[in-house]
Structures are given as C-alpha cells and as structure tokens.
Amino acid sequence: MSFAEGAAALAGEGPLWRRLRNMIMRKLGIATGLGILILSTGFLLASSTNFLSAADCGNVPAPGLDWSKCSKTNIMLQSSDLHGANLAGAHFDSTDLSDADLTSANLDKATLVRAWLKNAKADGANFKKIEAYRSDFSNASLNGASFANAELQRAEFDSAQLANADFQKAELGRADFNKAVLSDVNFSFANLSRATLSGAVIKGQISLSGAFMYLTRIEGLDLSNAAGLQQAQLNLACGDNSTKLPSWLKAPAVWPCPPDDPDDKD
C-alpha cells in the first residue's frame, strides 16, 4: 500500500477503509439480526401462551373443560354440561347454573355468592372451600359431594339429595335443609347456628360430632341415630316434643324455642 493509500485509510477514505467498514457492518448486522430474531421468537411464544390461557376462559361449556380461575359472573349457564370440568378458583357470583351437569366437577375454592344451582346434577362434585353465601342448591343432586370448609351462610338446600355429602367444618349459619334427604351426611365441627334442619328426611346416620348448634332448628327431626351428638349441643338447639333423640340424651326444659324473628333473616 502506498503512502497515499495509507493516509486515505486513516482519514476514512479509500478502498481499504471501505472494505474494513463493510466487514464490520456485516458482522454487526448478523449479530443484530440474530438478537432481533431471538427477541421476536420469545415475544411470540409468550404471546401465544397468554392467548391459550385466555382462550380456555372463552371456551363454551363442555365436559372436562378447564375454567380454573376464570371469571364467569352474572351470566346464564342453565343446563350447561360441565361434567368433570376443572372450575377450581373460578368466579360464578350471581350466575345461573340451574339444571347444569356438574357431576364430578372440581370447584375447589370457587366463588358462588348468590349463584343458582337449582336442579343441578353435582354428584361427587368438589365444593371444598367455596364461598357460596345465599346460593341456591334447592332440589339439586349432591350425593357424595364435598362441602368441607365451605362458606355456605344462608344457602338453600331445600329438597336436595345429600347422601354421603361432607360438610365438615363448613359455615352453615342460617342454611335451610327443609325437605332435604340427609343420608350418612357428615356435619362434624360444622357451624350450624340458626340453620334449619326441621323438615329434613334423615336416612342412615348423620354425624354431628363437634358441630356448633346454637338455635339450630331440629323440631320433628329423628336424631336417634345421630353420631357424636352431645347434651351440650341440644341445650343450645331448638327442638320440640316430636324431636327424637338417642336414649342417653334428654330434651332441654327450654324447648320449644320461640320462632325466628323474620327481621333477623335479611
């Protein structure tokens, strides 16, 4: 290379400088392109994952679908087939699930505040730890269903089928079980304060071990085969002369209780 060419290269001119500059730009271009490609691929993968998660919540009701943690509040889902569906942590507040098929569905920790489940088929369903204040389960088939640790204050179970249902440690204050069929139901350590069991049909044995029965209405109920029932519980409850008790227990002198104040039911 001549002196002139070297001087031109140092000054940023001439073919040598241009070759060097082009070589550097090509390498930078390749590296930049790869970086952009990697970032774009990662973005697309993340976007598609989010899309798929959102798409699950948008799916129409179907057996076995996954609506876990989805929001389905204030909508009409009557007669929907959700057999075996994963509904854990989903929100169904004020939603109409009347006549729906929830057989073996998983509703663990779901919210169903003021929801309607009239005539629903929910045998073997998992309702553990649900929040279902003032919800309506009337005439529902709930055989083998679990409501353990559920919040069910003022819930309606009128005429429901509850063979082998589990209400361990459930909050059932003012819940209504009028005409419900209770066969081998577990109320162990449940809060049954002011709940209405009067009018329920007792078949087999029910467990009341450790249940809190403050002003629980048990008028006319056959508790002769109740497991775990103690005198202290009866002293808090509200029965009458037609309430049948195990032979080792006796009706408290304060029976019958006065009627509930209608104003307290709001």
Render each residue's pLDDT in the chain as its tens digit; 266 residues.
Answer: 444 444 444 444 455 546 655 665 565 454 445 444 444 444 434 443 333 344 389 999 999 999 999 999 999 999 999 999 999 999 999 999 999 999 999 999 999 999 999 999 999 999 999 999 999 999 999 999 999 999 999 999 999 999 999 999 999 999 999 999 999 999 999 999 999 999 999 999 999 999 999 999 999 999 999 999 999 999 999 999 999 999 999 999 999 999 876 555 55
Residue 7 pLDDT: 44
Contact, 127 vs 106, CB < 8 A? no
Residue 10 pLDDT: 44
Separation between Cα atoms, residue 87 and residue 163, nearest integer Å: 23
Residue 4 pLDDT: 45
Q: What is the pTM of this model?
A: 0.79
Residue 54 pLDDT: 40
Residue 3 pLDDT: 42
